[in-house]
């Protein structure tokens, strides 16, 4: 990758650097999001300090004591361990490292699948535009790294057969950090089908690994029940109605926030099908099967597009060199060096923004989103000992971390909250008739609300003489029942 001139970088190296560095670069320029992260930190601390696995809900008012299949317990331990080592800065580093290493592994998988450096980098870069959506620091990002490892190992099986043995321990880890572990046996099964269709001698090993990987998913505190957890989570109607990333891709202009990524998914899928179909020197139906299987999660929900963005480049790498003119000379010059240095510099600058925040003290909103510091401070002063309060769902996770002695009504674990509670919560948030009676029944004296989730309720409380608006901060406001301040 280095040319004859000292310090000069080859043109292909620029593409490789872009493919690997741009995903963590972009994510380092965005704030950490407390929406999921904070409650995972709280759960990890509870488990580390108590020495046992969390199996029931202890965070919310109306689901307290309900069984909680905490399949992501391993990720929670990893997150809080990193946090205790270096605060928010260490979490920012972990986020960039997981996403960057995942991009690197996808690139290497493309190379092992047969693509030259330039096409492999280009495919990884296009895929990165899709799998960057999984770059938030939460258990899913550990799943992204595990999937990248499995893709790399399977793409290497022809030249480096022993690498596929890594898939078994990776699957065990994966089954304890995120529900996307189902992709491990699926990926190996597709590889085994392809090996058999092509008459490869390693097909028997691939089939045995597919069976072993399926059993590996049960190596966790909950056993095979984690499959039921994944099924429940992915089909829960409340989750699909409340959380936008669980909605299906749509090109409906009314879904403005979803249209762009849905269009990108559609374009890449059609292009991938066309590329595979027109590149067939002989029928390669396993490649079409792989494209069809990996697009299914993306077609089911926006968050599933991550897996398509990682798998499609590797599948296409088997045919891409047959369709693209590859330059015979990989030119080197000083401009290439400057570009790689600039990418590295921007990534470093993005990470260094977090460097002063190595403790538990939260950074400013520009570095930590969905963590209302002023409202949190006011809640500490307003709430009575162990008093619960009504909260915006997007802030529930943060409040569970920042105010551990005060139960919230709802949080990000939508599957844990009873359906009836969700129905009442949505009725209150929309200020439907009877909202005040529901809060009275729940004995709620304090409410921390967001304008985007409870705009109608905020207006209703402002007009209701029983409530006092004690604080307004950015995205939301804090209300206290009059006469109880």
pLDDT tens-place values along the chain, 485 residues long: 444 445 578 888 899 999 999 999 999 999 999 999 999 999 999 999 999 999 999 999 999 999 999 999 999 999 999 999 999 999 999 999 999 999 999 999 999 998 988 899 999 999 998 888 888 999 999 999 999 999 999 999 988 999 999 999 999 999 999 999 999 999 999 999 999 988 888 889 999 999 999 999 999 999 999 999 999 888 888 887 778 788 888 776 656 567 777 888 888 888 888 888 877 655 578 899 999 999 999 888 888 999 999 999 999 998 886 556 566 567 788 888 899 999 999 999 999 999 999 999 999 999 999 999 999 999 999 999 999 999 999 999 999 999 999 999 999 998 899 989 999 999 999 999 999 999 999 999 999 999 999 999 999 999 999 999 999 988 999 999 997 66
Does residue 477 share a domain with residue 426? yes
Does residue 268 share a domain with residue 170? yes
Helix (H, G, I), strand (E, B) or coil at 472: strand
Report yes or no on 256 lying in a domain: yes
Q: Report the chain's C-alpha Rg in angstroms.
A: 24
Does residue 377 share a domain with residue 316? no
Answer with the one of 283, 306, 332 that is the final residue of a domain.
332
User: Which residue from 141, 37, 49, 23 is spatially nearest to 363, judged by alpha carbons?
Assistant: 37
Does residue 432 share a domain with residue 299? no
Report yes or no on 218 lying in a domain: yes
Does residue 127 share a domain with residue 215? yes
The domain total for the chain is 2
Does residue 272 share a domain with residue 131? yes
Helix (H, G, I), strand (E, B) or coil at 358: coil
Q: Could you give the CA distance from residue 126 to residue 146 in angstroms, rounded to a whole number?
A: 20
The maximal CA–CA distance of the chain, rounded, in angstroms, is: 80
Please report the sign of the dihedral spanned by the C-alpha atoms of residue 153, residue 154, residue 159, residue 164.
positive
Report yes or no on 363 lying in a domain: no
Q: Write out the two tokens for 458.
A: 């905020």
Does residue 211 share a domain with residue 147? yes
Report yes or no on 213 lying in a domain: yes
Helix (H, G, I), strand (E, B) or coil at 449: strand
Q: Could you give the CA distance from residue 390 to residue 425 in angstroms, rounded to a whole number?
A: 9
Q: Could you give the CA distance from residue 300 to residue 97 in angstroms, rounded to a whole number?
A: 28
Contact in structure between 233 and 240 (CB atoms under 8 Å)? no
Quote the domain boundaries for residue 136.
11-18+98-332
Per-residue pLDDT at 7: 59
Does residue 322 share a domain with residue 453? no
Per-residue pLDDT at 47: 97
Does residue 392 share a domain with residue 291? no
Report yes or no on 348 lying in a domain: no
Contact in structure between 128 and 144 (CB atoms under 8 Å)? no
Per-residue pLDDT at 191: 95
Q: Write out the two tokens for 142.
A: 């550990």
Per-residue pLDDT at 130: 87
Q: Could you give the CA distance from residue 389 to residue 381 in angstroms, rounded to a whole number?
A: 13
Helices (H) then strands (E): counts for the chain:
19, 8
Answer with the one of 332, 362, 384 that is the final residue of a domain.
332
Q: Write out the two tokens for 113.
A: 């699948």
DSSP character at residue 438: H
Does residue 452 share a domain with residue 378? yes
Per-residue pLDDT at 2: 46
A 10 A CB-CB count for 224 gives: 11
Does residue 257 share a domain with residue 315? yes
Residue with tokens 């029940």: 225
Does residue 324 share a domain with residue 376? no
Per-residue pLDDT at 78: 98
Q: Cβ neighbours of residue 264 under 8 Å, at least 6 residues apart?
A: 129, 130
Report yes or no on 28 lying in a domain: no
Contact in structure between 54 and 43 (CB atoms under 8 Å)? yes
Per-residue pLDDT at 89: 98
Q: Could you give the CA distance from residue 369 to residue 346 in angstroms, rounded to a whole number?
A: 21
Which residues pair with residue 469 across a beta bridge? 479
Helix (H, G, I), strand (E, B) or coil at 390: strand
Report yes or no on 43 lying in a domain: no
Q: Could you give the CA distance from residue 434 to residue 440 in angstroms, rounded to a whole number?
A: 10
Per-residue pLDDT at 241: 77
Phi, psi of 190 (to 5 degrees): -60, -40
Per-residue pLDDT at 67: 93
Report yes or no on 179 lying in a domain: yes
DSSP character at residue 166: G
**Do β-strands 476-481 and 467-473 pair in parallel, antiparallel, or remain unpaired?**
antiparallel
SS3 content of the chain, % helix, strand, coil (to 5): 65, 5, 30
Q: Cβ neighbours of residue 409 under 8 Å, at least 6 residues apart?
A: 60, 61, 62, 388, 389, 390, 391, 396, 421, 425, 442, 444
Q: Write out the two tokens for 129.
A: 């535009």
Q: Could you give the CA distance from residue 405 to residue 400 in angstroms, rounded to a whole number?
A: 8
Helix (H, G, I), strand (E, B) or coil at 33: strand
């Amino acid at each position: 990758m280095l040319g004859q001139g000292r310090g000069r970088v080859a043109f292909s190296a620029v593409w490789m650097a872009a493919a690997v560095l741009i995903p963590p670069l972009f994510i380092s320029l965005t704030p950490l999001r407390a929406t999921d992260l904070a409650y995972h930190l709280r759960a990890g601390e509870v488990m580390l300090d108590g020495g046992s696995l969390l199996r029931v809900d202890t965070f919310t008012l109306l689901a307290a004591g309900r069984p909680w299949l905490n399949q992501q317990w391993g990720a929670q331990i990893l997150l809080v361990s990193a946090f205790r080592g270096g605060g928010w800065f260490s979490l920012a580093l972990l986020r960039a490292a997981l996403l960057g290493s995942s991009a690197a592994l996808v690139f290497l998988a493309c190379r092992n699948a047969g693509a030259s450096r330039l096409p492999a980098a280009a495919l990884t870069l296009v895929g990165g535009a899709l799998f960057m959506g999984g770059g938030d620091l939460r258990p899913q990002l550990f799943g992204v790294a595990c999937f990248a490892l499995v893709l790399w190992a399977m793409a290497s099986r022809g030249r480096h057969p022993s690498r596929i043995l890594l898939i078994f321990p990776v699957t065990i880890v994966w089954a304890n950090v995120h529900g996307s572990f189902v992709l491990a046996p699926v990926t190996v099964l597709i590889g085994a089908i392809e090996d058999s269709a092509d008459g490869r001698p390693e097909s028997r090993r691939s089939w045995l690994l597919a069976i072993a990987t399926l059993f590996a998913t049960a190596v966790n505190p909950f056993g095979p029940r984690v499959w039921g957890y994944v099924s429940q989570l992915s089909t829960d109607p409340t989750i699909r109605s409340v959380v936008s990333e669980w909605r299906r891709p749509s090109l409906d202009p009314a879904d403005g926030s979803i249209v762009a990524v849905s269009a990108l998914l559609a374009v890449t899928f059609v292009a991938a099908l066309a590329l595979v179909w027109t590149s067939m020197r002989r029928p390669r139906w396993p490649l079409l099967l792989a494209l069809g299987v990996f697009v299914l999660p993306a077609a089911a929900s926006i968050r599933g597009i991550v897996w398509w963005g990682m798998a499609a480049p590797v599948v296409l790498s088997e045919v891409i060199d047959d369709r693209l003119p590859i330059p015979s000379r990989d030119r080197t010059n000083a401009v290439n060096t400057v570009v790689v240095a600039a990418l590295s510099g921007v990534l470093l600058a993005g990470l260094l923004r977090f460097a002063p925040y190595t403790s538990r003290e939260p950074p400013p909103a520009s570095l930590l989103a969905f963590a209302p510091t002023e409202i949190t401070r006011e809640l500490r002063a307003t709430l009575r000992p162990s008093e619960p309060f009504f909260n915006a769902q997007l802030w529930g996770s943060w409040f569970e971390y920042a105010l551990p002695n005060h139960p919230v009504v709802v949080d990000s674990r939508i599957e844990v909250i009873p359906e009836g509670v969700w129905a009442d919560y949505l009725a209150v948030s929309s200020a439907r008739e009877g909202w005040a009676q529901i809060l009275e029944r729940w004995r709620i004296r304090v409410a921390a609300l967001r304008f985007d989730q409870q705009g109608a309720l905020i207006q209703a409380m402002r007009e209701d003489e029983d409530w006092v608006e004690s604080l307004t901060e950015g995205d939301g406001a804090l209300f206290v029942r009059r006469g109880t301040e």
